[in-house]
Amino acid sequence: MRIVHIDCGREMGGGQWQVLRLLRGLRQHGIDCILMTVPQAPLGEQAAGEGCAVEKISRRIPAADLVHVHDARSHSIAALFARTPVVVARRVAFPVKRGWLSRWKYRRAAHFIAVSQFVAGRLIEAGISQSRISVVHDGVPLLPLSTRDGPVIEMAKNASNLERDLLHARLLVYLTQAEGLGSGALLGMSAGVPVIASRIGGLPEAIEHGVNGVLTSNEPSEVAACVARLESNPAEAARLGANARRTIEERFTVERMVEDTIAVYRRILNV
């Protein structure tokens, strides 16, 4: 099986980390991968350094069994130039555009991989048949357990290198206005760090309030109360962190993400 992946991201965001983890896993399964990126993209440089074939995005898409696109611009490129089935990764929480160009582009795709049930619902709202949608959750590595003797991390303010910062984090506050799933929140859970997250988008599919984390509105007073409650109750915080780690081990590993993606490929290609 040979898969071309296209990603137009110029920075190494959460989506690009998922692509990199997927490429590693697919190659371990013996699947031939080519990555197409914009020049000097960190994702392309990292993948090339690990031995993956990397090409600059152009109208010439290499011959393959299937093209897997990972952002909106990549979707447009594949809709125009791909000559094999196109799988579209959909990670964002906002509604699908309804203009004629968007409708044409979405009709061209063979299948959609939604990062959460919430995102799948957005696709269905846009008129895409449920039979053309599969939900494959993000996968994250199992990080070292946090010592929990460091700061409270606020994703929007003071997280520069999240995996490094989680080594000592007491809490992770993950506030957002829209979220497909929340790979940053999953990383916090992986490190056994209690996560306080917005009750929005796909986040409730990973975080069960009071069981493996805390869900909140974005109202500052409610967020502050959640932080104060966990700070004053270390046993409760430890319980949430341990349950969060277990959730990652059971549902959100990189291995599971890779295997579920391969299952989608095989279903489309009938192999």
CATH of the domain at 87: 3.40.50.2000
146 within domain boundaries:
no
Range of the domain at 222: 152-251
- The percent of residues in the chain predicted with pLDDT above 70, rounded, is 99
179: Cβ contacts below 8 Å, ≥ 6 apart: 93, 198, 200, 201, 202, 203
> Does residue 222 share a domain with residue 101?
no
Question: If you average pLDDT over every residue of the chain, what do you get?
Answer: 95
Query: With bands split at pLDDT 50, 70 and 90, how would you rate the model's confidence at 158?
Result: low
> Does residue 247 share a domain with residue 260?
no
Which pTM value belongs to this model? 0.93
> Does residue 122 share a domain with residue 31?
yes
Q: Is 2 a residue whose pLDDT tops 90?
A: yes
How many separate domains does the chain show? 2
What is the tens place of the pLDDT at every residue in 71-108? 999 999 999 999 999 999 999 999 998 888 899 999 99
- Give one DSSP letter per residue of 218-262, joined into a string: S-HHHHHHHHHHHHT-HHHHHHHHHHHHHHHHHH-BHHHHHHHHH
Query: With bands split at pLDDT 50, 70 and 90, how would you rate the model's confidence at 29?
Result: very high
Q: Is 157 a residue whose pLDDT tops 80?
A: no
What is the tens place of the pLDDT at every residue in 232-243? 999 999 999 999
66 within domain boundaries:
yes
145 within domain boundaries:
no
Say what angle helices 14-28 and 254-269 make with each other, to 10 degrees. 70
Joined together, the tokens standing for residue 190 give 């992986």
157 within domain boundaries:
yes
